[in-house]
Amino acid sequence: MCAARRRKRWGVAVAKVERRMRSLVLVPASGAAWDAARSSGADALVLDLNAPTTADREQGIARFAALGSGRLAGPARFVRVRGLASGTVDGDLDVVMPHRPDAIVLPDVSSGMDVQHLAAKLAVHEAQCGLADHATRLVAVVDSPRGYFGIGSLPGASHRLAAIVFDAITFAAEAGLDPAAPAVRLARATVVIAAAAARVPALAVADAETPIAAQWTAAHTEGFAGLMLGAAADLAVAVPAIHGGRKRGPASLEVSSS
């Protein structure tokens, strides 16, 4: 297949992945939350590898693998690894990449260099696992004041970039601010603008203390394309609230094959 045709197919696949980012559920590696998330109708399930024990992580990965890869229907399968500063990302990728995740979610992103660093690691793991180049997308999470000053370097950092997520609660806590403070609102707006410049969706992490319908209305007005929900949320209510009052049924999902 010629290079131009490969790029065209990759671009179509990218668009389909990004359209499936209105409702994401961050699921802990352990516990019954996985079954509830799986049946919620959310666009994507995000396995959180920040588990307290090795056994919990192994159980979560087994549940993740059971969803299967190469599916034409059902939720997308994302994995939230630990931040680059943890020094554990290579180990996280070692255990999840053989299961062909649709995207890797990277927390504590401080600049486009972090995105490029993870993108390089993904290229190596794709080759080792026999996956197509660029088959795995990347979601960057901005959740610290340090990350705020690097937001402008995210557009253009990598073709793998599929979305930029803003975690206002974690951001505000690290900054010693109220989540409603003007500085936090400014950061939210900056993420939306950066995502627009990168031509990817901007997503907001939902606050467990506020009704999802109200959060979604406010976030959508600000320019966010979707919400990332915690597994503790009432998903039977939250997901329909995001999708216009109805539970989302299975939808097709394609990822890059070249």
Amino acid 253: pLDDT: 34
Phi, psi of 137 (to 5 degrees): -85, 175
What's the average model confidence in pLDDT over 23-30? 87
User: In the predicted model, is pLDDT for residue 213 greater than 90?
Assistant: yes
Please provide the DSSP assignment of 214-258 as one string.
Answer: HHHHHHHHHT--EEEEETTS-HHHHHHHHTTSS------------
Residue 257: inside a domain, yes or no? no
User: In the predicted model, is pLDDT for residue 219 greater than 80?
Assistant: yes
Domain that holds residue 160: 3-242
The 10 Å CB-count burial string (b at 16+, else e) for 103-131 is bbbbbbbbbbebbbbbbebbbebbeebeb
For the whole prediction, is pTM greater than 0.75? yes
Spell out the alpha helix ranges (H) of 89-233.
89-96, 112-129, 145-148, 168-175, 182-198, 212-222
Model confidence at 55, pLDDT cuts 50, 70, 90, reads confident
Residue 139 in contact with residue 162, Cβ under 8 Å? yes
Counted domains in the chain? 1
Model confidence at 6, pLDDT cuts 50, 70, 90, reads very low
What's the average model confidence in pLDDT over 240-257? 55
Residue 254: inside a domain, yes or no? no
149's CB contacts (< 8 A; 6+ apart) are none
Q: What's 193's domain CATH number?
A: 3.20.20.60
Residue indicated by tokens 């554990």? 88
Residue 134: inside a domain, yes or no? yes
User: In the predicted model, is pLDDT for residue 198 greater than 50?
Assistant: yes
What's the average model confidence in pLDDT over 143-170? 96
Residue 247: inside a domain, yes or no? no
Identity of the residue numbered 82: R
